[in-house]
Structure 1
């Protein structure tokens, strides 16, 4: 499912226009992004939680040349599915 299909599904389920559903989805994306930028965790009971994690710096290897390179530390987003979501999928 792509974003357009998701917007259509939200519009149908919530009885909204596609434009309203698109604005709601965009608002959700912005809220999650901003919260995670601030290093905070978002928990939606039954669905899951969004948080950030720090990946340590490490040494990698360029596959073309074989030369070692330094990969810097990075902050990465993580999603952990909640019990209800896991149960629904299985």
Structure 2
């Protein structure tokens, strides 16, 4: 599903115009991004949990050359699906 398809589906489901649904999706994206940048955990019960995590530096291997290299420490986003979502998808 593309972003435009998502916006159309939200507009239909919530009886909104596509412009209103687009603004809602943009607002949700902005709020979640800001929370993760600030180190907060975002929980959407029945859907997912997202959090910012620190990945330590580690040794890796260049798959093209096989050469050993160091992968620097960095922040990443960890997303976990809720048990409700997992159950709905598996059935």
TM over 0.5: yes
Measured in 1, the distance between the counterparts of 2:53 and 2:16 equals 35
42-51 or 22-31, larger mean C-alpha shift: 42-51
Evaluate the alpha carbon distance shift between residue 69 and residue 7 of structure 1 in structure 2; reply closer, same or farther with a 3 A threshold.
same
TM-score when normalising by structure 1: 0.89
Equivalenced residues, count: 90
**Equivalent residue of 1:46, what SS?**
coil
**Equivalent residue of 2:50, what SS?**
strand
Evaluate the alpha carbon distance shift between residue 59 and residue 84 of structure 1 in structure 2; reply closer, same or farther with a 3 A threshold.
same
Measured in 1, the distance between the counterparts of 2:18 and 2:88 equals 26
Measured in 2, the distance between the counterparts of 1:13 and 1:29 equals 19
55-64 or 5-14, larger mean C-alpha shift: 55-64
TM-score when normalising by structure 2: 0.88
Measured in 2, the distance between the counterparts of 1:16 and 1:78 equals 31
Q: Which runs of 5+ in 2 are unaligned?
A: none
Q: Which runs of 5+ in 1 are unaligned?
A: none
